[in-house]
């Protein structure tokens, strides 16, 4: 059978290459042209045609007995099987490539094959094997002096650790890959590693950092004509904005949520143009589904339905079952929102049938739940209960599978550890037997060393476990603090106001009253007592003055009584009186006051900017402008101080910038800060008035 296959492949190769078997020895086939054609098919996602082309090239290489080409072609064909999710077939050809490359000492091909096998081990849920192959590949590339190859292994390890949940190692490897690709000017690889780094930060919920990575990757992709990576960068940014919108909608911030959904839609539409330019149908279908979701959230149901239909059509043409299941559920939800329950059920039934055939339990659970909702809305409670029970059954099944998987993983780990322990014990027994045959003294020494080593190992392992547990606890605490940050911000201002009021109206009044009583008693006592009362009265007045100053700093009376304009003017007057800096103040606020919470937040932002200038920049001139028009607040603040690089500030010393940013974020605004050494500092702030705050 293999001989027949070989002959057929060779015949195809001869026909394709325009050569005749009779004069094969006289004419040289350009195998490189086969590679170009195969890779062209792969770019079009036509992996079957690519593999046929590889087969033709393999037949020619076998005929020539060209082992070098065979190793490379086996690896490429194996990689093609990986692209089409046929890992079992991929392993067969990759192992052939490894065998030939190893026998010929071709480290580069061997290293590339190890990366491909590592990817398969990762997909099969064998993390130890996956890491082993990646590290073996890295060692081979390093010994060959191939820095780019080393960078590829770092990228593969970063992806592995990302999906394994070890984000610290993921970031470490992604950054190493970034450094290498940037150093050697490998733009495409550098952009891919930036996207990978953004994915990891996104997993860590550090979305601002992830957005920065995607922004840079998009900029470089656009500049260097990399439409695929540009589309991926934009799509990832859109997903973050969409998730922001979901969170803000849950928290009741409807206005902010709509802005986020519009941002997400804008990113998806830009990504769509790049995908159209290269006819990337799979990504187009994904983007259509995402745009449909955004339109649904924005209330554009007609547009949502149209995009969802387009996604369904493309996924059907591609035969992409997973994407089709998702798109059908998305289209069904649009019909359900539009109260077109018959069409909604038709989509859900089609999705459910596909999910059952593909044995996608998660999709079956979700689709069954959607059907239950539709029947419930139609008043068919019997059918609603039937599909709800089906959804619940698959939920239980998924839970049991996850539970069993965890049990198996722990069991496997235990068996591995047990085997290692047994091997270690056997080795120790052999050494002890040899020592007994020689001299009892050496036995005693050996036992002592082993015991000490075991104790030290156990102690180090216990210490390591303690450190890991502490890190996990700290991580959870950090996440909790992050979620509570905005709530604390509002609470702080309210608490400041309460404390300021109590200081002024409570303790301040008591001190003033006490001072009056002391004054009335001073003249009615003997001289010595009068002097003591006079000194005490002086201290009471100073304390009362200090209380009033603290109360004013915590919550200026001017702000609460007369509004933001007078409070800002008062603040800048104090700056002119207390420093040599000249102030250029331009306020265009109108008569109508802003909401109290907004005035407080804006006042704190201005106060923080002034504090930064006075404490750190040695500025001689400060300019501040405030305008309110067309539903927007615009603020510009500049000083001519020493300036700084924000990224070079010591950790933890960000000059209050985090406080400024958190308040602007709370108000739904945007902050742009520019500063360079010797060029001063500039803050540009825009805040929408139509977004609900507080």
pLDDT band, residue 165 (cuts 50/70/90): confident
Please state which of the ranges 265-269, 284-288, 337-341, 460-464 shows the lowest mean pLDDT: 460-464
pLDDT band, residue 9 (cuts 50/70/90): very low
Please state which of the ranges 449-453, 479-483, 545-549 shows the lowest mean pLDDT: 479-483
Residue 341: predicted pLDDT: 86
Residue range 200-224: average pLDDT? 91
- Put the strands of the sheet holding 681-688 in their side by side order: 582-588, 621-629, 632-639, 681-688, 670-675
Last residue in a domain, options 447, 465, 491: 491
659 and 610 inside one domain: yes
576 and 680 inside one domain: yes
* CA of residue 692 relative to chain centroid, distance: 27
**What's the CATH number where 606 sits?**
3.30.565.10
pLDDT at 226 over 80: yes
475 and 512 inside one domain: no
Sequence-distant contacts of 606-611: CB under 8 A, at least 24 apart: 606/568, 606/571, 606/635, 606/637, 607/571, 608/656, 608/659, 608/660, 609/637, 609/660, 609/683, 610/571, 610/572, 610/575, 611/656
pLDDT band, residue 399 (cuts 50/70/90): low
Sort strands 621-629 and 582-588 into parallel, antiparallel or unpaired.
Answer: parallel
Could you tell me which residue, 85 or 260, shows the higher pLDDT? 260
Residue 14: predicted pLDDT: 43
Q: What are phi and psi of 2, to 5 degrees?
A: -65, -40
Please state which of the ranges 62-66, 362-366, 460-464 shows the lowest mean pLDDT: 460-464
544 and 448 inside one domain: no
Instruction: Describe the chain by its helix, strand, coil percentages, rounded to 5.
Output: 80, 5, 15
Residue range 565-574: average pLDDT? 86
In angstroms, the CA 273 to CA 266 distance is 11
Number of domains in the chain: 3
573 and 649 inside one domain: yes
- Residue 27 and residue 58 in contact, taking contact as beta carbons nearer than 8 Å: no
479 and 587 inside one domain: no
481 and 434 inside one domain: yes
Q: Give me 441's structure tokens.
A: 């003294």
pLDDT band, residue 557 (cuts 50/70/90): low
- The overall average pLDDT reported for the chain is 80
465 and 451 inside one domain: yes
Asked whether the whole model's pTM tops 0.75, one would answer no
Range of the domain at 415: 404-491
For residue 90, being part of any structural domain is answered with no
662 and 569 inside one domain: yes
Taking phi first (over 0 means left), then psi (-120 to 50 degrees means alpha), and beta for anything else, what does residue 577 get? alpha
Tell me how far CA of residue 643 lies from CA of 183, 580, 678, in angstroms.
Answer: 29, 18, 6
pLDDT band, residue 270 (cuts 50/70/90): very high
Residue 19: predicted pLDDT: 38
pLDDT band, residue 533 (cuts 50/70/90): low
Percent of the chain whose pLDDT exceeds 70: 77
**Which candidate, 504, 574, 517, places its Cα nearest to that of 544?**
504
Last residue in a domain, options 459, 491, 523: 491
Residue 179: predicted pLDDT: 92
DSSP 675: E
Sort strands 681-688 and 582-588 into parallel, antiparallel or unpaired.
Answer: unpaired
pLDDT 10s digits, 678-691: 888 999 999 998 75
- Residue 489 and residue 666 in contact, taking contact as beta carbons nearer than 8 Å: yes
pLDDT band, residue 28 (cuts 50/70/90): very low
588 and 662 inside one domain: yes
Please state which of the ranges 58-67, 422-431, 458-467, 624-633 shows the lowest mean pLDDT: 422-431
pLDDT band, residue 498 (cuts 50/70/90): low
pLDDT 10s digits, 182-194: 888 989 899 998 9
In angstroms, the CA 71 to CA 114 distance is 13
In angstroms, the CA 470 to CA 486 distance is 26
Residue range 290-307: average pLDDT? 90
For residue 358, being part of any structural domain is answered with no
- Residue 69 and residue 54 in contact, taking contact as beta carbons nearer than 8 Å: no
pLDDT at 115 over 70: yes
Residue 27: predicted pLDDT: 36
pLDDT band, residue 123 (cuts 50/70/90): confident
- Residue 572 and residue 583 in contact, taking contact as beta carbons nearer than 8 Å: yes
566 and 669 inside one domain: yes
For residue 58, being part of any structural domain is answered with no
For residue 652, being part of any structural domain is answered with yes
Residue 4: predicted pLDDT: 43
For residue 576, being part of any structural domain is answered with yes
**Which candidate, 74, 77, 126, 67, places its Cα nearest to that of 97?**
74
Residue 6: predicted pLDDT: 41
In angstroms, the CA 213 to CA 190 distance is 11
For residue 623, being part of any structural domain is answered with yes
For residue 75, being part of any structural domain is answered with no
Last residue in a domain, options 450, 468, 491: 491
Please state which of the ranges 175-179, 311-315, 450-454 shows the lowest mean pLDDT: 450-454
- Residue 170 and residue 200 in contact, taking contact as beta carbons nearer than 8 Å: yes
576 and 467 inside one domain: no
pLDDT 10s digits, 29-75: 578 888 888 888 887 778 889 899 989 999 988 888 888 899 889 99
For residue 511, being part of any structural domain is answered with yes
């Amino acid at each position: 059978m293999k001989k027949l296959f070989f002959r057929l492949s060779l015949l195809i190769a001869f026909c394709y290459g325009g050569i005749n078997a009779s004069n094969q020895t006289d004419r040289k086939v350009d195998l490189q042209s086969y590679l170009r054609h195969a890779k062209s098919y792969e770019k079009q996602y036509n992996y079957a045609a690519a593999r046929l082309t590889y087969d033709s090239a393999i037949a020619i290489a076998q005929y020539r007995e060209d082992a070098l080409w065979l190793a490379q072609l086996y690896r490429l064909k194996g990689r093609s099987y990986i692209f089409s999710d046929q890992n079992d077939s991929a392993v067969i050809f990759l192992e052939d490539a490894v065998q030939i490359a190893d026998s010929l000492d071709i480290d580069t091909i061997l290293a590339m094959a190890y990366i491909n096998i590592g990817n398969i081990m990762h997909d099969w849920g064998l993390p130890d094997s996956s890491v082993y192959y990646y590290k073996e590949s890295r060692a081979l590339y390093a010994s060959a002096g191939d820095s780019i190859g080393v960078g590829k292994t770092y990228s593969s390890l970063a992806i592995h650790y990302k999906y394994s949940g070890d984000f610290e190692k993921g970031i470490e490897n992604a950054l190493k890959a970034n450094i290498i690709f940037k150093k050697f000017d490998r733009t495409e690889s550098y952009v891919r590693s930036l996207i990978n780094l953004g994915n990891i930060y996104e997993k860590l919920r550090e979305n601002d950092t992830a957005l920065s990575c995607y922004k840079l990757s998009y900029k470089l992709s656009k500049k260097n004509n990399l439409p695929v990576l540009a589309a991926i960068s934009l799509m990832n940014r859109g997903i973050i904005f969409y998730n922001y919108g979901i969170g803000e909608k849950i928290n009741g911030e409807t206005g902010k949520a709509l802005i986020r959904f519009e941002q997400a839609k804008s990113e998806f539409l830009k990504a769509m143009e790049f995908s159209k330019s290269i006819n990337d149908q799979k990504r187009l279908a994904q983007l259509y589904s995402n745009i449909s979701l955004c339109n649904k959230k924005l209330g554009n149901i007609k547009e949502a339905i149209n995009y969802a239909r387009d996604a369904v059509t493309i996924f059907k043409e591609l035969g992409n079952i997973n994407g089709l299941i998702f798109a059908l559920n998305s289209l069904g939800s649009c019909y359900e929102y539009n109260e077109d329950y018959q069409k909604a059920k038709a989509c859900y039934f089609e999705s459910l049938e596909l999910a059952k055939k593909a044995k996608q339990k998660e999709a079956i659970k979700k689709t069954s739940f959607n059907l239950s909702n539709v029947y419930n809305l139609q008043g068919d409670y019997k059918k609603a209960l039937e599909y709800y029970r089906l959804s619940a059954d698959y939920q239980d099944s998924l839970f049991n599978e996850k539970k069993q998987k965890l049990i198996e993983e722990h069991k496997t780990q235990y068996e591995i550890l047990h085997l290692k322990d047994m091997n270690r014990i056997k080795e120790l027994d052999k050494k002890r037997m040899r020592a007994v045959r020689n001299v009892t003294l050496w036995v005693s020494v050996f036992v002592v060393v082993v015991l000490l080593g075991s104790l030290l190992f156990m102690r180090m392992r216990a210490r390591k476990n303690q450190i890991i547990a502490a890190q996990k606890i700290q991580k959870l605490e950090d996440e909790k603090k992050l979620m509570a940050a905005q709530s604390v911000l509002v609470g702080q201002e309210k608490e400041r106001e309460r404390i300021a009021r109590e200081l002024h109206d409570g303790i301040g009044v008591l001190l003033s009253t006490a001072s009056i009583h002391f004054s009335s008693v001073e003249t009615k006592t003997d001289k010595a007592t009068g002097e003591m009362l006079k000194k005490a009265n002086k201290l009471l007045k100073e304390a009362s003055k200090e209380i009033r100053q603290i109360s004013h700093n915590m919550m200026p009376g001017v702000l609460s009584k007369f509004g933001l304009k007078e409070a800002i003017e008062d603040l800048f007057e104090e700056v002119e009186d207390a420093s040599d800096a000249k102030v250029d103040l331009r306020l265009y606020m109108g008569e109508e006051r802003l909401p109290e919470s907004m005035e407080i937040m804006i006042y704190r932002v201005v106060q923080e900017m002034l504090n930064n200038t006075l404490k750190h920049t040695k500025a001689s001139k400060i300019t501040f402008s405030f305008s309110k028009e067309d539903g927007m607040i615009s603020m510009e603040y500049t000083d001519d101080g020493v300036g700084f690089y924000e990224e070079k500030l010591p950790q933890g010393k960000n000059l209050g910038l985090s406080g400024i940013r958190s308040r602007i974020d709370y108000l739904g605004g945007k902050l742009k800060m520019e500063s360079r050494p010797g060029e001063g500092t500039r803050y540009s702030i825009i805040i929408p008035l139509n977004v609900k705050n507080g």
